[in-house]
Amino acid sequence: MQKSISIPANEIESLKEKLIEYARENELACILDSNTPYFQNTGNFSYNKYDIIAGFSNKPIHENSISEFIELQEVSPENSEWYLGYLSYDLKNSIESLQSNNSGHLDWPDIFFFTPEVLFLMANGVLTVTIQNECIEHTTLFHRLNSYSISRLTHYTIDLYPRITKNEYLRNVGELQQRIRRGDIYEINFCQEFYNHAEIDPYAVYRIMNESSPSPFSAFFKYNDKFLLSASPERFLKKENSLIISQPMKGTSAKGVTISEDHKLKTRLSDDIKEQAENIMIVDLVRNDLSRIAQRNSVHVEELCGIYTFPHIHQMISTITAQLKTNSFIKIISATFPMGSMTGAPKIEAMKLIEQYESVKRGLYSGAVGYISPEMNFDFNVVIRSLQYNSKKEYLSYMVGGAITALSQAEKEYEECLAKVYGVIRTNKRVHYA
């Protein structure tokens, strides 16, 4: 059952709120929000096809779902199904001979996709709603959505505690730089966790996140009692027919208080040799990854080290494209995942050191959330600027990190981590220092 309706621009925010509320009533929910009004005139995001994709299901989790990497081979155009889901960082162990032995507190499966019973697709102001459950009708569904009374919270207090001390962080960065100087690696993305045992309302928190930090790859994902609340600004990988697009992000700057200060900070980021080096190293890694699945001589750097502005920061982003020689999702992911911007170069050696020096399993952090369409097209973000929450354990996790190179200054890297912690929810987030 499919129905299409036009949504006036002034009603889109209301629709988003209703979709978040509707997630409360479903065991599985995935909401992908491009926040189009904020980024529609930004060239880097011209590849975005949908404004909103939202899928929901109350079927038993084992039905019509993918929970093993090898099961992705069963996804083909003949299925004529939409799949919404994620690839966790620890899926790396199914792709390469790697391990994840650090402690974990969130209990995400390494991979999970589901076929939604109710699917909302919005593009260019037109909303298409598809229902694959004979017990649900469009009229009843919209009546339910319109019945919600949305509480207008504007802030939410969250206390976060560092998993490691500042001294431990600085010492680890120093040891990783020694590895770089002796040639083991060129660059590594080193991350740390801020966490708490607390009860939160993940639906309200996500609503506030998306209002205060609208991002082009925002995502809300619910897997029973586990939640991902993401304000991601970064695309991992998009496939549109034979075209593949990757947009690694490396290089960050705060925004200025005045127009003049803001311009200076953007120029400083654009001219920063260290930030350029970080970005270019990852671009080379992505080019190498894509060359494994691309047609000969088709890998192309469309933009190198472009500067893009978000609500609270400036970012350096590059765009690499290629023409595919395979339509196999599992082959494409095996060649490219995890993304180089969250690992380092060389990728496998960097991931070994990540396991050695980081203190917890990343879970969905630095994984990817997105969709696979019936035509085998897909689009996935990079899970950064994200809260992970296990409501059963009342465990909240927010991980941050940055690229470490020979030119990195450990103190500044730590300050950047703190800036990223504060950057998602702008009000009433308290960080307790060790």
Catalytic residues: 234, 250
Dihedral-angle region of residue 327 (phi above 0 means left; psi in -120 to 50 means alpha; beta otherwise): alpha
- The dihedrals phi and psi of 248, each to the nearest 5 degrees, come to -65, 145
CA 275 to the chain's CA centroid: 21
Output 43-46 pairs: Cβ under 8 A, ≥24 positions apart.
Answer: 43/303, 43/306, 44/247, 44/303, 44/306, 44/308, 44/317, 44/319, 45/216
Output 131-134 pairs: Cβ under 8 A, ≥24 positions apart.
Answer: 131/1, 131/2, 132/1
Query: How many Cα atoms sit within 13 Å of 373 on the Cβ side?
Result: 14
- The dihedrals phi and psi of 175, each to the nearest 5 degrees, come to -70, -35
DSSP 96-130: SS----SB-SS---SEEEE--SEEEEEETTEEEEE
Say if residues 300 and 201 touch (Cβ distance below 8 Å): no
Say if residues 279 and 248 touch (Cβ distance below 8 Å): yes
Coil, helix or strand for 169?
helix
Say if residues 211 and 398 touch (Cβ distance below 8 Å): no
Say if residues 385 and 417 touch (Cβ distance below 8 Å): no
Say if residues 214 and 311 touch (Cβ distance below 8 Å): yes
DSSP 128-152: EEEE--TT--HHHHHHHHHT-----
Quickly tell me which residue has 């199904």 as its tokens: 81
Environment class of 312 (CB within 10 Å of its CB; exposed 0-12, middle 13-18, buried 19+): middle
Environment class of 369 (CB within 10 Å of its CB; exposed 0-12, middle 13-18, buried 19+): buried
d(CA 232, CA 380): 11
